[in-house]
Amino acid sequence: MKKLILGATVIMSAVACNNQNPLLSEWNTPYGIPDFGAVKEKHYIPAVEAGIAQQQAEIDAIIANTEEPTFENVVAAYEKSGAILDRVIGVLFNLSETDGTDSLQKIVEQILPMLSVHSDNISMNPDFFAKVEVLYNDMENLGLTQEQKMALKKLYNGFVSSGVALGEAEQARMREINMELSSLSNTFGNRLLAENNAFAEEFGVAISEYGGAMAATADRDLREKMFKAYASRGNNGNENDTKDLIMKMMTLRIEKANLLGYENPAQMILEDKMAGNPETVDTFLAGIIAPAVNKAKEEIVDMQEIMDADIAAGLLPEGTKIEPWDWAYYTEKVRMAKYALDEEQTKPYFQMENVRQGVFDLTTKLWGLQYEKLENIPTYHADVEGFKVMDADGSLIGVILTDYFPRSTKRGGAWMNNFVNQEIVDGVEIRPVIVNVGNFAKPVDGKPSLLTLDQVETLFHEYGHALHGLLSQCTYKSVAGTSVARDFVELPSQIMENWAFQPEVLATYARHYETGEIIPAELVAKVEAAGNFNQGFMTTELAAAAILDLKWHMLSVIPSAAEESFVESFEAAACAEMGLIDEIIPRYRTTYFAHIFSGGYSAGYYSYLWAEVLDKDAFELFMEKGIFDIETAMSFRRNVLEMGGSDEPMDLYRRFRGADPDPAALARARGL
């Protein structure tokens, strides 16, 4: 009772201060876009404190309810709880990744332990769990919709996986582990950002531009230096070295899995995913990397022939062989020789704004979506642009914000996130506010942002995630939008890539930034012909990273006497075991593998390849019916994009496809 009174006191105090803290009340802005200009750093900690108090009071009220447990007074009540925290987290953690100043990072460091304690207070509460368990055990007799069953199942599994059944001492240890893991993950992200910025300062090349720079740099010594600096991020023995963090995180993850009765973290993490267990994933990846490596060896032969010509011309010493820092450079030479395709030819046709409009127009053609540029809206940075998204009948779908240019306060890569989640609360539908983030070349010297072929795919990919969030038609936030199994979430994103270079789609957006000329048919033909070019390398580096991730999380013990050098020796052994050749390194080496040490993809990086089986199989139906076939498109929207996690992922896929996915679809698409 004392806790409840304290919570109520804090809430009343917070309500009284609404005018001073914009995070404590709903946004009075167009379409519910966060009022970024009004939010100051001083607002975050008080808002988190108030949000925790509010949600704890709401949980206490659920527990104190003397009525028989029902879906409405337990699960639905929980789904509606935590409005303030949702609002704060939606802003804070998005900004910490896109505009993470030193002062904001310090605030995050203060807040993470608070959130960890609060989360554990909920998920380890035996009284709350008792009500959920009653409903879960009687689920089939409650007359629930499938979405309600999934929300109940997710809540129940969350309790179990958090250790609600553990003894008091074990729960106390679990709380310590959770708090430390949260802090370590945040520190990993901060150190990697510092390493990325150091690389950019040294070479004048942003991390996002590394691939293009390696392909264009003729100076082999410089390429070697760039490669070694890139590949050693987090492994330089300086204050930003990440090996100590990795050792601590893996030790804690193993201990957490053991506490919950699992042999290793992968077993724990994969249990509720489509794959189900690490053995299935291991077999899946082994079937991909072997043919990919064989293909890569063929690609080396082609590159070596051109390198040998450079040797004969006196440009390189006798006996020079292809090394990892040569791959991008000689790949471009092979591409030019085989297909007369140079990315410097294509980039002028891929102005960022035109590519973005191209993906907008594609969604109009497939699903009738309409777009309106929003002016004078709150944004968190001058680079951010906003668009209102409407359905074919003019009804509001949501808002998409785009933030595509690099800066020193933004982490590398590209991603989608929610500022506002789609849900229905007390009969009121809340439409989402989504952000797509990238790190494309910024306009400079009057020249616009021009994208590489890979970056075009990235923009289409992230917009697929955005569609998953925007088109969601769920009631409960826990299963709405992208709140799905990790190995299903990449289906909507990856299927969008399939349209990017279709000639009919290119004709709508690929215009020369100076002349306005549509990309010539002969250049389109070259892009098509080179579609599976370099797939040995690309598949190998991706599969290698996925296997490396899995092997880390299949560990059942970190040797007690192991030093930080264990990180390097373990990676080397894993790469040797998978048959990785010396000329290729994993897409992400352990010390800068942000996906798995600060991005939520632990034991889940395989998801990209797993979902690619689905996306390639799904797009084959579009190819059969027509890539703009409305019936097929609407079926994908109804059964996948709108459904979030409101049903089992394979059931959703089968409803769209009418059959299980063909496992060979990935190999066909990649030319393996």
Range 219-341+535-605 has CATH code 1.10.1370.10: yes
More confident residue, 620 or 341: 620
At residue 654, the pLDDT reads 96
Structure confidence by residue, pLDDT tens digits, 40-96: 999 999 999 999 999 999 999 999 999 999 999 999 999 999 999 999 999 999 999
At residue 362, the pLDDT reads 98
At residue 524, the pLDDT reads 92
Residue pair 497/467 in contact (Cβ under 8 Å)? The answer is no
pLDDT > 90 fraction of the chain, expressed in percent and rounded = 89
Please state, in angstroms and as integers, the Cα–Cα distance from residue 220 to each residue in 200, 201, 305, 537, 655, following that order.
19, 20, 17, 20, 52
pLDDT > 70 fraction of the chain, expressed in percent and rounded = 97
At residue 19, the pLDDT reads 58
Q: Mean of the per-residue pLDDT values for the chain?
A: 93
- The residue-averaged pLDDT of 184-204 equals 95
Structure confidence by residue, pLDDT tens digits, 243-302: 999 999 999 999 999 999 999 999 999 998 989 999 999 999 999 999 999 999 999 999
Structure confidence by residue, pLDDT tens digits, 2-53: 222 233 333 434 444 455 899 999 999 999 999 999 999 999 999 999 999 9
Please state, in angstroms and as integers, the Cα–Cα distance from residue 242 to each residue in 200, 236, 239, following that order.
18, 9, 9
C-alpha–C-alpha distance, residues 382 and 110, integer Å: 28
DSSP letter, residue 21: -
- How does DSSP assign 90-159, residue by residue? HHHHHHHHHS--HHHHHHHHHHHHHHHHHHHHHHT-HHHHHHHHHHHHTGGGTT--HHHHHHHHHHHHHH
C-alpha–C-alpha distance, residues 103 and 331, integer Å: 43
- The residue-averaged pLDDT of 310-332 equals 96
- The residue-averaged pLDDT of 628-651 equals 97
- The residue-averaged pLDDT of 376-392 equals 97
Buried b (16+ CB within 10 A) or exposed e, 372-381: eebeebbbbe
More confident residue, 553 or 563: 553
Cα–Cα nearest to 611, from 497, 458, 505: 497
User: Sorting pLDDT into bands at 50, 70 and 90, what band is 420?
Assistant: very high
Q: Which two tokens stand for residue 463?
A: 């917009």
At residue 208, the pLDDT reads 85
Cα–Cα nearest to 321, from 299, 298, 304, 296: 304
462 is catalytic: yes
Structure confidence by residue, pLDDT tens digits, 438-464: 999 999 988 999 999 999 999 999 999
C-alpha–C-alpha distance, residues 648 and 487, integer Å: 12
At residue 251, the pLDDT reads 96
At residue 561, the pLDDT reads 75
Decide if pLDDT at 410 tops 80. yes
Please tell me which residue in 209, 462, 497, 571 is annotated as part of the active site. 462
CB count in 10 Å sphere of residue 143: 7
Q: Which two tokens stand for residue 165?
A: 């059944």
Same-fold call for 2-165 versus 219-341+535-605: yes
Decide if pLDDT at 1 tops 60. no
User: Sorting pLDDT into bands at 50, 70 and 90, what band is 341?
Assistant: confident
HEC string of 389-445 equals EECCCCCEEEEEEEECCCCCCCCCCCEEEEEECCEEECCEEECCEEEEECCCCCCEC
- The residue-averaged pLDDT of 179-183 equals 94
**Domain extents in the chain:** 2-165, 219-341+535-605, 348-529+625-667
Specify the residue for token string 């919570």.
7
C-alpha–C-alpha distance, residues 147 and 396, integer Å: 23
Decide if pLDDT at 398 tops 60. yes
C-alpha–C-alpha distance, residues 236 and 241, integer Å: 6
Strand pairing category for 396-403 and 433-437: parallel
3-state percent breakdown (helix, strand, coil) of the chain, nearest 5: 60, 5, 30
Instruction: Give residues with Cβ within 8 angstroms of 56, minimum separation 6.
Output: 3, 4, 7, 118, 121, 122
Q: Which two tokens stand for residue 164?
A: 């609600």
What is the value of pTM for the model shown?
Answer: 0.90
CATH value of 2-165 in 1.10.1370.40, 1.10.4190.10, 3.10.105.10, 1.10.10.10 = 1.10.1370.40
At residue 109, the pLDDT reads 93
Per DSSP, the three-state class of 671 is coil
User: Sorting pLDDT into bands at 50, 70 and 90, what band is 199?
Assistant: very high
Structure confidence by residue, pLDDT tens digits, 578-608: 999 999 999 999 999 999 999 889 999 999 9
CATH value of 348-529+625-667 in 3.30.70.1140, 1.10.1370.40, 3.90.1150.200, 3.40.30.10 = 1.10.1370.40
Decide if pLDDT at 519 tops 50. yes
